[in-house]
Amino acid sequence: MDRNTNPKISVCIPIHDMKNLDFFLGRLMQSLQIQTFRDFEIVITKDGKMAENTNAAIKKAKGDIIKILYVDDYLAHPDSLRNIADKFKGGWLATGCVHDWGDGHLKDPHLPRVEGITGNTASNTIGSPSVVAFENKDPLLFDENMGWLLDLDYYLRLVKRYGEVTLINSYDVVMGCGEHQATHILTQNEKELEEKYLIQKWTPKSQ
């Protein structure tokens, strides 16, 4: 990692107390150490809930490109950051991912699609924020009222600001899956309340 004052990429890593945190953070850092692209900084924050914590990292970023990477996820191969830097066209970008369920095998490859973000019915066809990078010019912050659907809300706002996403058809990120994920921690009632909040937020107001 180059320690210049204006790195090309800021890798923003919001961390929080979770089972096996040391293992996850070590795995992520190892994936950064082997990157062939070296013009990056690492921004680690631990400040409140997920959205608030991610925002804290974004606000500290000095790079031209902000790359979100949740602590339980990691870069898939040594050229992951190089792919992002080389193919970034401004606005925002999303790359493909595979999934690590802790059984020693990477599976369920996913390439991001725009249908759910630009269609009539909103759904997250991009993936976790860990597959996303965006320009660091008055960057958008996550809605701190959200914890489960914050990614979908964020993508809708990125489309509104920048338009269509640049898609990379390669698997550059590995998603760490398991019982520590929010989808397994939040109650059904909490999920339903957040769905209602998202719908109300994006339903056009009558004139």
Question: How far, in Å, CA of 72 to CA of 91, rounded?
Answer: 26
The stretch 15-38 carries a mean pLDDT of 95
Handedness of CA 69, 71, 77, 78 (dihedral sign): positive
Q: Which residues pair with 166 in a beta bridge?
A: 93
pLDDT at 4 over 60: no
- For residue 117, which phi and psi values (nearest 5 degrees)? -85, -35
If you ran DSSP here, which 8-state letter would residue 118 be given? Answer: H
Q: What is the pLDDT of residue 117?
A: 77
Supply the pLDDT for residue 136: 97
* Range with the poorest average pLDDT among 49-53, 65-69, 76-80: 49-53
Mean pLDDT value across the chain: 90
pLDDT for the residue 207? 47
pLDDT tier, 179 (very low <50, low <70, confident <90, very high otherwise): low
Instruction: Give the β-pairing of 92-100 and 166-176.
Output: parallel
Selection from 128, 131, 124 nearest residue 177 by Cα: 128
CA distance 169 to 148: 26
The dihedral over CA atoms of 33, 37, 40, 44, expressed in degrees to the nearest 10, equals: -30
* pLDDT at position 180 over 70: no
Report residue 110 as tokens: 């996913």
Copy the structure tokens of residue 7: 């790195």
Q: Are strands 132-135 and 74-75 parallel, antiparallel or unpaired?
A: unpaired
Amino acid at 91: G
Average pLDDT over residues 70-92: 97
C-alpha span between 174 and 71 (Å, rounded): 11
pTM: 0.90
